Amino acid sequence: MNESIVRLRALEPEDLEMLYQIENDRELWNVGVTNVPYSRYTLHDYIASQKGDIYVDRQVRMMIENGAGETVGIADIVNFDPQHRKAEIGIIVVNGQRRQGFALEALRQLADYATTTLHLHQLYAYVDVENEPSLMLFKKAGYSGQAVLAQWLFDGKNYHDVVLMQYFL
């Protein structure tokens, strides 16, 4: 796949509206650990307070742009653990931009960044067992399911099992 279809870049103040929409989309809350709405003010402060140093912040959030320069999603590296050379990964491509290869290419670029810049040994993600599109995405990117964690996520009504997906670099 042509790498030019995606570019990962740092958060900019102009990303506030997209960040606000994604963080406050209740349909996405069950795929992560966020379950409260965020104000624009809080997100503005988040963007402004990032040091841009994963060793200080223990995370990095990057915007995903398509080949036309349009922002189509967000990719996160969180729970960065330099001692054990691993980090958790998260990715969201907005509705209307999915199934075009953006997420797969972003995962490939994140793996390259994790290898060449951060010198990590592994990336991992927790994926709801019922989220077939995400499970297929991670498998296509070379991740393998290592364990099922029972009742790992709570959506406000029900508990959901997740698959621990790992990618060894």
- Residue 123 predicted with pLDDT over 70: yes
Which is it for the CA torsion 113, 118, 123, 127, positive or negative?
negative
| pLDDT at residue number 62 | 93
Mean pLDDT of 33-45: 69
| pLDDT at residue number 3 | 47
pTM equals: 0.86
Mean pLDDT of 66-73: 93
Q: What is the CA radius of gyration of the chain?
A: 15
Mean pLDDT (the chain) is 88
- Coil, helix or strand at residue 128: strand
Number of Cβ atoms within 10 Å of the Cβ of 17: 11
Q: How sure is the predictor about 30, in pLDDT bands with cuts at 50, 70 and 90?
A: low
| pLDDT at residue number 154 | 85
Percentage of residues of the chain with pLDDT beyond 90 = 60
Cβ-defined contacts of 45-51 (< 8 Å, 24+): 46/19, 47/11, 47/12, 47/13, 47/15, 47/16, 47/19, 48/13, 50/11
